[in-house]
Structure 1
Amino acid sequence: MASAKIQDERLTEWNNNVMQYLIPNNVVLSLYLILGTIGNITVIVVYVFKMKVKRDDRFFIPVLATVDFIACLIGASYAFAWNLLPVKFKNEFACVALSFVSQGLTIVAASLLMIIAVQRYLKVCKPSFIFTQKMKYFCIILAFCFGCAFSVPIFFYYGVVEMYNPILNVTGYWCGQTVHYKEHFILHDISAAVFAFIASIVLIILYILIGKTIYQKFIKFHISIKQGKYTKTPSSSTEAESVEPVDKDNVHKSSRSRANSIEDLVDRDGYRRKLRRGSTDTLDQGRFYTIGQHFRTHRYSYMFMTITALFIIGYTPRLTLMILESLDPNFWNKPNETIAGLLFLYRLYLLNHAINPFIYTFFDTRFRKAVSEIFCSCCSTRKSMSL
């Protein structure tokens, strides 16, 4: 009895020592959790309930925001539990379940980014191909099924792992890869690395093709503006800020559609008249004008490019550490300072899920306006209640 009490005291001492080095990690996790939860809930509410005009470009955003929200909530909670009980994590069910959900959501997010890249490629480079609503819903279901299926090995290879501390002469417990079926899990991690590598290459190729196409359109648009040959046709750009095909007999819908297209944002006729005079200021304004319209027109492609790039950057350290962990059974048996640094890299993927709402805010002007209206209405309501 006394021996068990001594062992427990030593284990608690070891646990507290490791926890001290994980305090900065907890601060970062708190930021991930707060920003990811509030931001993604705001995205879901605004895009689902506040956006009056449903755009094809925004279709996947609420789905991706839902995955980001759950990933932040589960991933950060799992990380907090691990940090609080780094060597006293004895709950086998919680370890396996949280590991399964965490990895599954990461695979789902990666699959959704693949689907979005294909959708952007078809929209920009192959506009004759129609990506129907049924196809989109089918792809979303397929992404979730693939994420779950790919994460099933977690049930066999993850669990409570024992680790011996020779200095304190005590055995600790934490959640990680078990030694059972180690060879099989190495194959699983290698296959995950191969999938991530192929997916990254495909994403890079698709967005290079997208970038090449929109750059060619930018050059043509710039030349047409200078030569005065640009016509007021809303269909002149495959990604123009039009809503849906507009009924010509409906004047209000038609005017609103043109107001949201790149053709009617400024007075081109006046600009062209000034351009013929050869004014240097006008030429500079023209360059800024065409660049501005270019980014307004293709901002959703640039937005998803940014999200995808951050996802690849954030997920690469985690995947690398997973492979190293599967190759070395004593990988985590390192000094506390090293463990804290490795855990920061391991959880860097959560930054992607937390920062995506800010990327939507930066690129989508309608979303930014809707959020501002909600914030202003809340402030005015609070002010009126205080009076």
Structure 2
Amino acid sequence: MASMLPVVSTGTTLFGVHITTAEVTSSLNISDEEKRRYLSHLDDTTFRLMIPAVVYLAILMVLGIFGNILVLIVYLKKFKPSPTRVFVVCLSVFDLMTCFISLPGEILDMRYIHTFDYPNVCKMLRFNNSFSVVSSGFTLIAVAIDRYRKICRPLNTQITIKVARIMVGIAVSVSLVVTIPAVIVYGRKTVKTDNEEINGFECSIDDRWRDTLFPLVYIGVLFLIFFGSLGILVFVYAFIGRTVFNHRRFKFRPSRDTEHHTSNYTTETSFEDGTVKNGKKYSGNEKKSDKGKGIRSARQSFCKVSPSTVFGDVSNSNHGFDDSSETSCSDVNDTSAKPKTRSADKCPNRVTSTRKKASKPQSGPRGMKTTFMLFIITAVFIISFLPHLILMITRFVKSDFENSLQGAGIMMYNIFLRSYYINSAVNCIVYSFCNERFRNEAKNLAVSCFR
């Protein structure tokens, strides 16, 4: 049997950690216990540089778990069923999956970065992480489409609760198909150490696929999905922003514009009594058919009065942030041959009340606030991914980028590499700032719990 000699090994690990430790080696083999001790020492030494990233993830995990549970309780118990509630609840479920499974797994991976020899656990963690993120992205696209129809196409058929659930189901199904390869790609990766005879293991792309194109194709598909989703979101919200800008520009026009439109409308509709139309006097013996035409003309002119009339009607039909009930002024588009006196009588009052509300700058459409809240959530989702994507691209272009880091650089690298986890924890904060009703209900719930 070969003699066992203590040898002092000094060097730099994969993460730039300088170590000097005495280990028992032999010219032929090293016992399992010696390997374990050596790798455990590497874990302890490297973990010191991981502590800032671990603290960062621990804060996000606690904030995300309690925040998303609060969102689920408030929206399910206090808000009426609506498409917006469907989207918000689903986003919270995806975020909870990240906070309950992915974040603890990420912390575990950083703590045992050289001894994570659990392939099945690794597959589950990476799949859950990819699935929850992709599902959230597709759900945000559904949210953008819903907002587009409410703001830019208010008189068209709107997305119902059933349609919203179908859209989320499609998002989940597509995400499942896209991310299922993560179960195959990820697993146990062999990590080299300073001792050539000792190798560690980490949760990354499995050794079986290291020299194949499959991991590259899979990551490339995820990149395409992200940038494609980003393009769709930017495009849709650009249309929404343009519509909101045009609406506000019309809303704050001088009052004489409004008076001009009102006088035109009044002049056209007053001839039904046989008095005046556009400055001309009509006798009471006017034919009924002509009266019908006059009424229809008046009602059509009402629908062409101004964009603010349309937006004012939609804003009044949105009850709070949950968009729980939405109606459309379909009766004003009625062009049937028979005049409807009741409907015609109601329209002037409706126009007057609508114009009065639109003339007040402080009474903006409530649906705009919901749109702003959901836009902020989308923006946070996109921005939180930028540091991660930049580091991934840098690491792909410069293969030795990770090995060249030292000290504080390693700390910052591990924090920004996991920047996208912010999205799973801050949504509840966005709801609190943008939704007064959610904020009040959350306060009441907190008070009742403390009592």
For the pair 1:143 / 2:224, whether they are aligned, the reply is no
Tell me by how many angstroms 1:378 deviates: 3.0
Work out which of the residue numbers 408, 432, 439 in structure 2 matches 1:361: 432
Work out which of the residue numbers 232, 239, 245 in structure 2 matches 1:209: 239
Tell me by how many angstroms 1:89 deviates: 0.2
Counterpart of 1:74? 101
User: Structure 1 residues 131 and 171, CA, compared in 2 at 3 Å: closer, same or farther?
Assistant: same
Counterpart of 2:162? 134
CA distance in 1, matches of 2:151, 2:121: 44
Counterpart of 1:223? 253
For the pair 1:193 / 2:264, whether they are aligned, the reply is no
User: Structure 1 residues 193 and 199, CA, compared in 2 at 3 Å: closer, same or farther?
Assistant: same
Tell me by how many angstroms 1:26 deviates: 1.1
Decide which structure has greater helix share: 1
1:90 partner letter: D
Work out which of the residue numbers 367, 373, 376 in structure 1 matches 2:447: 376
CA distance in 2, matches of 1:235, 1:125: 9
User: Structure 1 residues 72 and 8, CA, compared in 2 at 3 Å: closer, same or farther?
Assistant: same
Tell me by how many angstroms 1:324 deviates: 6.2
Q: CA RMSD in A?
A: 3.2
User: Structure 1 residues 99 and 56, CA, compared in 2 at 3 Å: closer, same or farther?
Assistant: closer
Tell me by how many angstroms 1:4 deviates: 2.6
Work out which of the residue numbers 414, 421, 441 in structure 2 matches 1:343: 414
Counterpart of 1:257? none
Matched ranges for 1:278-297 at <5 A: 290=361, 292-294=362-364, 296-297=366-367
**Stretch moving more, 351-360 or 324-333:** 324-333
The one-character-per-residue Cα deviations of 1:77-127 (angstroms, maximum 9, x if unpaired) are 111111211111001110011100111111000000111111111111122
User: Structure 1 residues 188 and 321, CA, compared in 2 at 3 Å: closer, same or farther?
Assistant: farther
The number of residues matched between the two structures is: 344
Work out which of the residue numbers 173, 180, 192 in structure 1 matches 2:201: 173
Determine if contact 1:40/1:357 at 8 Å carries over to the other structure: yes
For the pair 1:37 / 2:65, whether they are aligned, the reply is yes
User: Structure 1 residues 195 and 323, CA, compared in 2 at 3 Å: closer, same or farther?
Assistant: same
Determine if contact 1:186/1:327 at 8 Å carries over to the other structure: no
Work out which of the residue numbers 357, 366, 373 in structure 2 matches 1:303: 373
1:130 partner letter: Q
Work out which of the residue numbers 50, 67, 82 in structure 1 matches 2:78: 50
CA distance in 2, matches of 1:40, 1:178: 33
User: Structure 1 residues 113 and 239, CA, compared in 2 at 3 Å: closer, same or farther?
Assistant: farther
User: Structure 1 residues 185 and 150, CA, compared in 2 at 3 Å: closer, same or farther?
Assistant: same
CA distance in 2, matches of 1:203, 1:196: 11
CA distance in 2, matches of 1:235, 1:2: 77
CA distance in 1, matches of 2:367, 2:176: 36
CA distance in 2, matches of 1:239, 1:322: 44
CA distance in 2, matches of 1:93, 1:330: 29
User: Structure 1 residues 236 and 16, CA, compared in 2 at 3 Å: closer, same or farther?
Assistant: same
The one-character-per-residue Cα deviations of 1:139-178 (angstroms, maximum 9, x if unpaired) are 1111111111111111221111111112686311110013
CA distance in 2, matches of 1:319, 1:239: 39
1:106 partner letter: V
2:110 partner letter: N
Determine if contact 2:83/2:160 at 8 Å carries over to the other structure: no
Determine if contact 1:92/1:159 at 8 Å carries over to the other structure: yes
2:371 partner letter: S
**SS at the partner of 1:294?**
coil
CA distance in 2, matches of 1:331, 1:93: 29
- Unpaired runs of at least 5, structure 2: 1-28, 263-307, 328-351
**Larger-Rg structure:** 2
- Unpaired runs of at least 5, structure 1: 247-262, 273-288, 382-387
Tell me by how many angstroms 1:349 deviates: 0.9
Counterpart of 1:9? 37
**Stretch moving more, 325-334 or 75-84:** 325-334
The one-character-per-residue Cα deviations of 1:215-242 (angstroms, maximum 9, x if unpaired) are 1111222227686669998962534443
**SS at the partner of 1:141?**
helix
For the pair 1:20 / 2:48, whether they are aligned, the reply is yes
The TM-score normalised by the length of structure 1 is 0.79
Identity of aligned residues (%): 22
For the pair 1:236 / 2:302, whether they are aligned, the reply is no
Counterpart of 1:249? none
**SS at the partner of 1:223?**
coil
For the pair 1:154 / 2:182, whether they are aligned, the reply is yes
CA distance in 2, matches of 1:327, 1:101: 27
